[in-house]
Amino acid sequence: MDNKSPLHLVCLPEDILLAISVYLHVTDVLSLKQTCRVLHAFGGSDYLWHLIMPLFDLPFDIGPDVLLTALSGKELQDLAFKAIKLEQNWTKPEPQIKKITSVIHSTDDMYVDTMTLLPGAKWLVTGQRGKTGSCITLWSLHDLEDVRSVATLLFPRSLDSYGTGMHQDGSATLTVSMMINDQKMLKVYALPLQEYIQNKHILPATPRPIATYSRPMTQGIIHALSIYNSVVVATLVHWSQTGPLSPSFSLLFLNSVTGVTRVVDHPLPENTNDVGVYICPRHVAITSVINQESAFVHVYQLPPSILQPGRALDSAMYGSEPTSTEQTDHLGPLVTQYRFSLPVSHHYHISGGLHHPWKFYLTSFAYPGSEGSIRSYICLYNIRLSLPHSDGISYPAAPIDTIPTVLPVNDGTSAPVVCVGITGRRAVWLERHWEREEVRLMRLSHTAAGSMAVVLVPPHPVLPFTPATCHSLAFDEVTGRLCVGLETGELYVLDY
For the segment 389-413, the average pLDDT, to the nearest whole number, is 71
Confidence of residue 341 (pLDDT cuts 50, 70, 90): confident
CA distance 485 to 368: 24
What's the pTM value of the predicted model, to 2 decimals? Answer: 0.88
Given a cut of 60, is residue 312 above it in pLDDT? Answer: no
Q: Tell me, yes or no, whether 82 lies in a domain.
A: yes
Q: Are residues 189 and 77 in the same domain?
A: no
Residue 99 maps to a domain: no
* Per-residue pLDDT reduced to its tens digit, 89-111: 999 999 999 999 999 876 667 89
What is the average per-residue pLDDT within 217-232?
83
Q: State the pLDDT at residue 328.
A: 60
Mean pLDDT of 279-288: 87
pLDDT at 21 over 60: yes
pLDDT score of 340: 87
CB 294 within 8 A of CB 340: yes
Domain that holds residue 211: 160-332
As for how many domains the chain has, the answer is 2
**Residue 432 included in any domain:** no
- In single-letter form, the type of residue at position 159 comes to L
pLDDT at 372 over 50: no
pLDDT category at 335 given cuts 50, 70, 90 is: confident
49 in any annotated domain: yes
Q: What is the pLDDT of residue 396?
A: 57
Q: End of a domain among 306, 332, 358? A: 332
Q: Is residue 128 part of a domain?
A: no
Cβ-based burial of 332 (10 A; exposed 0-12, middle 13-18, buried ≥19): middle
Same domain, 208 and 77: no
pLDDT tens, residue by residue, 230-259: 889 998 887 766 655 667 788 889 888 888
pLDDT for 309 beyond 60: no
Same domain, 209 and 297: yes
For the residues 467-479, what does the mean pLDDT come to?
95
Half-sphere exposure of 465 (CA within 13 A, CB side): 25
CATH of residue 28's domain is 1.20.1280.50
Same domain, 164 and 35: no
Closest CA to 116 of 176, 61, 68: 176
- Do 169 and 66 lie in one domain? The reply is no
Same domain, 184 and 81: no
- The answer to whether residues 205 and 312 belong to one domain is yes
Domain boundary among 305, 332, 359: 332
Dist CA 160 CA 113 (whole Å): 12
In a domain, 80, yes or no: yes
My answer on whether 166 and 297 are in the same domain is: yes
**Residue 223 confidence class, pLDDT cut points 50, 70, 90:** confident
Note whether 86 and 196 are same-domain residues.
Answer: no
Q: What is the pLDDT of residues 421-430, one digit of tens each?
A: 999 999 999 9
∠ CA 415-417-420, nearest 5°, is 100
Q: Is residue 20 part of a domain?
A: yes
Q: Which of 65, 90, 115 is the last residue of a domain?
A: 90
Task: Say how far apart CA 320 and CA 259 lie, in whole Å.
Answer: 8
In a domain, 489, yes or no: no
Question: In terms of domains, do 190 and 325 share one?
Answer: yes
**Predicted local distance difference test score (pLDDT) of residue 260:** 83
List C-alpha distances in Å: 242 to 219, 235, 238, 239, 247.
Answer: 15, 22, 12, 9, 12
Which is higher by pLDDT, 80 or 306? 80
Residues 71 and 170 in one domain: no
Is there a single domain that holds both residue 171 and residue 67? no
